[in-house]
Structure 1
């Protein structure tokens, strides 16, 4: 039903007749039609001189038919079916009247070409077949008065001309469809890349802001509680707030700079596991004691994997600060050939409904791991705590390993 409706326009009229958007151009092709009309008129005059005595001389009616065959081509973009049948009908009457062969076929060819390219193949074939059959009927069975039947050999030439015109039109139509498909595919790829870039920016901003704001929230609570009883401790809390907010502003500015100028490298290197001591220090300022254990020797770690590992640990510790009653956490990093293993544990219990963190935080960790071809598991432990376990490959050619625009080469 949908396909049937697509062929009909307003008022129940066919789209090829109404000329609605998608089947037509917005302007009439005046320059090319005028040029074609001049070629047909002048060429027909020259052809008539060469066929004098064989075909009827050009008169006013012949000129009118030639004019109609060309004038209807003004509609070949808006109404290609009307144009091809109009030009074919005028040409058929012109030939049936015994007027000279000549550029009148050019008008039919242009109309046929436009109809095929516009997708009206059946109409184009029908119109051109009508001209050819009409010519055969008139030339062989109903020749003009005083004339004689034309030789059958010339029909081969006319048939070859028809096939050549339709074949050329079909070739152009196919090429246009291929170009349209390629353009649509390129636009889809660009849209997908834009969506991925927005997702990456949102994930990066979430990780930066969630961690820093959690530290600021805890320290502001401490500062307010100790403002009167222990001003020195309150001062320390305010100092931590200042440092955390400054760091957050710097990282947010780096992300936004990358967003504004995607072709430029960030001014500062992206964070990695070498900044883990800073995370431990910030966690300590909130009252969380973090123990870090490392197994294996750290070798060459691709920047993308290094950033992902840092953000996963950062988000896991942020979730401990925000959603766990535990004041201790354990971070275990295992360097193995071709991979990094991460494990972050806290003793619990959860202090709210969102045990282990919000949906966005856990989703962001999973997306980072998946972008590198890694895996991540996060969930409550049997003893009431919470565990985050991640495995990230270190192959430089793994998907997303390059982490474009997140780090400085």
Structure 2
């Protein structure tokens, strides 16, 4: 039933056209075929030809029933001694349909039964052929069955390829969203954690400064939530973008710098070159590289300061983030954050390096290309 629901009107029309064409070929070509073989036709010739051809109009809706009707009509035609002619085309199409549209085992059983029935005409009937006639009769089943099976396998492989491609795209989208959430939540929680530690340390002795730290926590959490909301809204294609927070980009570096300063990490931003409007993907990647680099400073560098250098060139933008901290690579193998930054940059055709800085501390460097037309 599921297969029948999947049959389109265009397929039904096509099958009907095939049936009518084969009917016309059978009505026109059977008599000449008989004359060529020196065999006459009888009263049942054309009714059997018509039944075999017209049954193909529903060949994809009911392939087994179609094969059964065509096999009986063709066998009766041959048993009566009528000439080999266009009716065999209908039989070939019926066998092909079973092989192409049914599971292999079902199609093989149906083809075997059809062959057994068809072989009746080689041993009984008006013109028995004996065992020598079995070979050509077997070819009428084996050849279309092999062709139909090949077509079905190609179609199934193509369908699996489409499923695999859809799964790959879904996995890539999940990875993208996970990376965005990691960058947003990781940075926000790191800043909040540091500010909370400061507030707890100052609460008893300098409550006014503790209040400032708590205010910074409130502001940082709100900004992180707004940014997370934007990220998840963009990921959900069926909803409009949230206008309450802008899409992250280099224009938000001042807010990012202020958040890190409130968490106890002074950040200096140096910009050289003529700033220009960057493509959204490049702008977002550049911001995420700076954000994740500063988050790593906050988490791993200890008491330190950080410097962000942006250099706008005719071919793109160059980013360098250095700190005066311990200089150790964060986490085993550089951490998920470094891997995520590298994937972002290389996906856009850029270059990325990270490691201890020559004069101490840690250095992250990235180059993001921009097309000239942009």
Q: Which residue of 1 aligns with 2:309?
A: 332
8 Å Cα contact 2:96/2:144 also seen in 1? no
Tell me which of 197, 203, 217 is aligned to 1:241.
Answer: 217
Q: Which residue of 1 aligns with 2:22?
A: none
1:196 aligns with 2:172: yes
Match of 1:327, SS state, is coil
1:95 aligns with 2:78: yes
Larger mean Cα displacement after TM superposition, 92-101 or 272-281: 92-101
Q: How much is the aligned-residue C-alpha RMSD, in angstroms?
A: 5.0
Q: Which residue of 2 aligns with 1:318?
A: 295
Q: Normalized against structure 2, the TM-score is what?
A: 0.67
Measured against aligned partners, the alpha-carbon deviations of 1:231-290 in whole angstroms (never above 9, x if no partner) come to 100000000000000101111111222233356445343121121111211111122121
Tell me which of 248, 262, 266 is aligned to 1:289.
Answer: 266
Q: Which residue of 2 aligns with 1:7?
A: none
1:328 and 1:138 map into 2 onto residues whose CA distance is 101
The alpha-carbon deviation at position 375 of structure 1 amounts to 1.4
Measured against aligned partners, the alpha-carbon deviations of 1:26-73 in whole angstroms (never above 9, x if no partner) come to 99xxxx9xxx9xxxxxx9xxx9xxx9xx78998xxxx9xx9xxx9xx9
1:194 and 1:263 map into 2 onto residues whose CA distance is 18
Structural mapping, 1:201-240, within 5 Å: 201-240=177-216
Larger mean Cα displacement after TM superposition, 205-214 or 353-362: 353-362
Q: Which residue of 2 aligns with 1:365?
A: 341
Q: How many residues align?
A: 324
8 Å Cα contact 1:117/1:169 also seen in 2? no
Tell me which of 291, 297, 300 is aligned to 2:277.
Answer: 300
Pair 295,25 (structure 1): closer, same or farther in 2 beyond 3 Å: closer
8 Å Cα contact 2:275/2:312 also seen in 1? yes
Q: Which residue of 2 aligns with 1:271?
A: 248
1:95 and 1:259 map into 2 onto residues whose CA distance is 65
2:257 and 2:333 map into 1 onto residues whose CA distance is 18
Match of 1:278, SS state, is helix
Pair 136,393 (structure 1): closer, same or farther in 2 beyond 3 Å: farther
8 Å Cα contact 1:319/1:357 also seen in 2? no
2:42 and 2:286 map into 1 onto residues whose CA distance is 89
8 Å Cα contact 1:333/1:340 also seen in 2? yes
Pair 188,263 (structure 1): closer, same or farther in 2 beyond 3 Å: farther
1:378 aligns with 2:354: yes
Larger mean Cα displacement after TM superposition, 186-195 or 317-326: 186-195
Gap runs ≥5 in structure 1: 1-23, 37-42, 144-158, 402-409
Measured against aligned partners, the alpha-carbon deviations of 1:168-197 in whole angstroms (never above 9, x if no partner) come to 994x76665555444433333322222121
Q: Which residue of 2 aligns with 1:349?
A: 326
8 Å Cα contact 1:356/1:380 also seen in 2? no
Measured against aligned partners, the alpha-carbon deviations of 1:373-401 in whole angstroms (never above 9, x if no partner) come to 1111111234441110101011278xxx9
2:91 and 2:177 map into 1 onto residues whose CA distance is 57
Q: Normalized against structure 1, the TM-score is what?
A: 0.62
Q: Which residue of 2 aligns with 1:112?
A: 95
1:393 aligns with 2:353: no
Relative to its length, the structure with more helix (as a share) is 2
1:344 and 1:356 map into 2 onto residues whose CA distance is 20
